[in-house]
Amino acid sequence: MLGAARRQLGSGHMLAQVLRRLRPTAAASTEAARGYSSAAKEITVRDALNSALDEEMSADPSVFLMGEEVGEYQGAYKITKGLLDKYGPDRVLDTPITEAGFTGIGVGAAYQGLRPVIEFMTFNFSMQAIDHIINSAAKSNYMSAGQINVPIVFRGPNGAAAGVGAQHSQCYAAWFAHVPGLKVLAPYSSEDARGLLKAAIRDPDPVVFLENELLYGESFPVSDEVLDSSFALPIGKAKIEREGKDVTITAFSKMVGYALQAAEILSKEGISAEVINLRSIRPLDRAAINASVRKTNRLVTLEEGFPQHGVGAEICMSVVEESFEYLDAPIERIAGADVPMPYAANLERLAVPQIEDIVRAARRACYRALPMAATA
C-alpha cells in the first residue's frame, strides 16, 4: 500500500533555498538556568528526535514517515536525516506540497493499522490539513464507539522562530488542545523530545507533537536511561524543572528555558520560583499545577501564543476552580501580543514574551513591585 501511495504522490521539488533562509540559529541557555547536571552526556533536540524516530521505526515495521522533503533532502531541519537510506522509500515518503493530500493519506493508513508520522514543515501549514486532523483523526474513535483507533503523529516546528513573519510564526497549542480526541505534546529538552515522541508513536490515538525551530540545535544533558531504546515519557504528566516555594511559573516548549532563566534572576532577589514544564498540553497535568500553587500560593502562566482562549487561560481557570482559596495574589498571565507576528525584528521582540516580562510578573505576584495599573 505504501508503495502505491508513493507512486501516486511522487517526490516533487521542494523549496530548499527558502528553507535554508528559515533555518534557525538558537542561543544556548546556561546550565544553571536549566537546572541540569553538566556531567551527563549531551545531545541536541534534533538528534533526540531523530534517534526516537529511528528506534521506533526499527522496532515496529508499521511506523512510516511522510511529508515534504523528509526523504531525499533528509528533512527541512534534518530531523529525518539518514532514515531514507536505512528504511527505504516505502517507509520514508517524500510528498508534493499538499498538506491536505498527504495528511488524508496518513489518516487512512492509520485506519488500516499502520502508524504514520506526518511532518509539517511548519504547523502554520497544518491549517491546510485541519479537516483531516480534527474531523477524520480526532473524532473517529468516538464516532465508531471505540472500534477505530487512529495511531498517527502530526509533528513539526510550532510557534515563533526569527524573522519569518506572521504566516510562519503562530503557536497552535491552544488550537489543537481545544479538540477532544487529540493529545497535544510540546517538548522543551532533549529528554522531552525523545521520550515524548516515542510515547506519541506508540499511542493508539492521534497526537499533535509541537516542536520549536529554535530549540533543534540546543544541547541538553541526558542520562543513560533516556538513551535506552525502551525509554518513553508518560503522556499527561508535567515535570518540575526547578523547585521553589514563593511562586509557580508554568511554561512549555521554548518558554521553559525563559522561565528557568527568570527563576535564576529572581533567586538573587530572594524569590524562590518553581518552574513547571507542562510537556503535555492535552491532557493537562492539572494535579501537578494545583499542587504547586497550593505550596507557593502564587501563579504566573507563560506561553508565546495569543492570550485570548490560550493555554494560560485554561490553567488560570483550573486553579480558580480547584485552588482559589490558596492564592495570596492575583494570577499573572504572560502571553504573546494579540496581533499577527510582525516581521520587523524590533517589533517581533515586543510581540513575544521576554525574560524580563517573567521577572516583572513574578515580582508583582510576590508584591515586590507596583501592579501594572498603578504605573499606568
Q: Catalytic amino acids?
A: 99, 168
Q: How far apart are CA 56 and CA 41, in angstroms?
A: 22
DSSP string, 147-162: ------EEEEE-S--S
Task: Report the alpha-carbon distance of residue 13 to residue 2 in Å, rounded.
Answer: 20
DSSP state of 193: H
- Cα-based distances in Å from 22 to 122, 160, 212: 11, 11, 13
- Tell me if 338 sits within 8 A of 326, measured CB to CB: no
- φ, ψ of residue 205 in degrees (nearest 5): -115, 165
Q: In degrees to the nearest 10, what's the CA dihedral of 211, 217, 223, 228?
A: 60
- 279, 252 in Cβ contact below 8 A? yes
Is-contact 280 176, C-beta < 8 A?
no
Query: What backbone torsions phi and psi does residue 288 show, to the nearest 5 degrees?
Result: -65, -40
Alpha helices for the chain (secondary structure H): 2-9, 16-22, 31-34, 45-59, 83-87, 99-111, 130-131, 140-143, 173-177, 190-202, 224-227, 254-267, 286-296, 311-323, 345-351, 355-365, 372-375
For residue 154, what are the β-bridge partners? 118, 208
Cis peptide before 283 (omega within 30 of 0): yes
Q: Quick one: which of 20, 26, 346 has its CA closest to 218? A: 26
